[in-house]
Each structure stands twice: as structure tokens, then as C-alpha cells.
Amino acid sequence: MALALTLLPLAGCDAIDSIRGMMDPEWKPENANGDDGVLHFGINPWSMKIGDVQSIRVERVEHRSIKRPNAEDKEQERERKVRVLTARCESKSICDATPHDSDAREITITPKMMGMTKVYVSVSLDDEDTVKDSITIKVEP
């Protein structure tokens, strides 16, 4: 073991990352439907109707697989606490988007006219990390 640790700096960053991944695997988003694959928006983005105000839940579920020698991989899942910080529509003429008044996990979208646009969202995860994602929506009459 001591020999392996002394040779580790010679092995390069890839080997270090590989060993680190076995000891503490990275959490990855699961079921993310945002354009950047970071967040899950609880909505069918192709069914927005003009004047029909929508409250949309924003979620972040993560998983990781821990590889154990001579045993099955152990799957872990966690749901992060999401608090919406900002929300806005790319096209102000197509819709308005704001954080929900009473539920910090939701955004409110008000479709105003027919068309397609992106809704940009910035959220705090567990009051530690801030991440951004967007979703493309289609507004119909």
C-alpha cells in the first residue's frame, strides 16, 4: 500500500481521479429534463395555454453507484432541498416567470402569447450550492 501511495504522483491525474471515484463517487442528477440536464421541471413544456397560469415544481434528485470489491455495486439516491432564487422568460412578450409566492420549490409561469421561449431558473440546493438550468416551453392558444 505504501508503495502504491508513493507511485501515485507518477501515475497522473487520471489515476488519482479514478481512485477518488472509487472511494467517494460523484453524485449525478437523475431524471433531469432541463436543457442543461441539471434540474427536473414538473411540467409538460409543450402544453402551455395562453392565460393559464402554471405553478411548476423544480426538483433535483441525485444518484451514485458505489463499487465494492467482490460484491454488488451499491446504488444510493438523495433528493436535494431546492429553493428557487430567480426565474425569468427569455421572451417577455411570450411569458412571465417568477419564483412562487408561497412555495420556494416552485416557479410561476404566465403564458401571454403564442410561441416558444426558454425559461431560465437559478436555484439553491440545500442552501449550499447554486445551480442554473433552463427549459424550453411552447405556448399555444
Here the CATH number for the domain that contains residue 72 is 2.60.40.1080
pLDDT tens digits for 54-78?
999 999 999 999 887 887 888 999 9
Q: Give residue 78's domain range.
A: 2-140
Q: What pTM value is reported for the model?
A: 0.78
Task: Pull the grid cell for residue 3.
Answer: 508503495
Per the structure, the count of domains in the chain is 1
pLDDT tens digits for 109-130?
999 999 999 999 999 999 999 9
